[in-house]
Amino acid sequence: MVSLLFPGQGSQASGMGKFLYSDFKIAKETFEEASEAISLDLKKLCFDSADSDLALTENTQPALLCVSTAAQRVLRQETSVPVLAAAGHSIGEYAALVAAESIHFSEAMKAVRRRGQAMQSAVPRGEGGMVACLGLDDIQVRWMCEWVEKESGIKPLSPANFNSPGQVVISGSQKAIDWLKTNFKAESVPGSPKRAKLIPLNVSAPFHCSLMKPAEDVMRDVLTSMTFKDSKFPIYQNFTAQPVSKADSLRENLIRQVSAPVLWTQSIETMKLKNLTTMIECGHGTVLKGLLKKIDEGFKVYSLSSLDDLKSLTGDLKAMGH
């Protein structure tokens, strides 16, 4: 028995999902269904586009949902493994809800295409940014953001992604970030972290902060008009880090996560408390596998980025009686 994980932005790469499309009819049908839903050639976007085109938020989000859903469908066609729960990192949460049959795939494709456009247009390019904070704990990161806002008089700056212990991403005004880069001294942070490091991220907008409120308002309209059903298994959602199955709550949390921080570390720790420690990362890459190793080395996480990954996984599942 396993839980499914679905990656978010940053895991995309040209060629992702190609082996699924080539080797499995259900994956090819998934790409065709996705392309028809949003009038965009997902096969061309995922396999032949330049990384810069794939990195455009309005393209990245539907591409990730398409590939993750294709991987999830192939997995469940090729194995009989019972799924106990799921979680998705930011945009990955849509793939989790599709897997749990809470929302229809084609409707989800339309929603994430609109989400990407809304998030991209919420803040003029260059006015917002994101920074990865390494070597700082959650409390230190929160303190640093509040310190910047107070000392500089510039807002907002806040935690956006709690990815793993010692890896928190902050998001907000580019002017606040510039002030931070100029004035940051690790010894000034409570606890004086010795290996603190700030790494500006190459992103097109300041995601998961209050500057995304216009995009959240757009998504409230979009998601309110969509049909949500109670999920077939619990989704550990970004907004609450708690298992959710009821349709109305799933919808509201999905809306709220646009401008709220992604509580990924907290979600995974909650899953561990429920003895959910065997995971399958459905989608391209091993970003989530890497994060889970930093959260707790006791997790067993499988990847689905190649045919060899799938063969290895199915072999292990058969050995476990699935």
Burial of 212-249, coded b for 16+ CB within 10 Å and e otherwise, reads: beebbebbbebbeeeebeebebbbbbbbbbebbbebeb
80 is catalytic: no
Neighbours of 123 (CB within 10 A): 22
245 is catalytic: no
Strands 157-164 and 128-134: unpaired
| Helix (H/G/I), strand (E/B), else coil: 4 | strand
Residue 61: Cβ-neighbour burial (10 angstroms; 0-12, 13-18, 19+): buried
The active-site residue out of 3, 204, 208, 267 is 208
Largest CA distance in the chain: 60
Radius of gyration of the chain (CA): 19
- Which DSSP state fits 262? B
- Comparing CA positions, the residue from 239, 318, 251 lying closest to residue 78 is 318
The active-site residue out of 3, 35, 49, 90 is 90
Q: Which residues are catalytic?
A: 90, 208
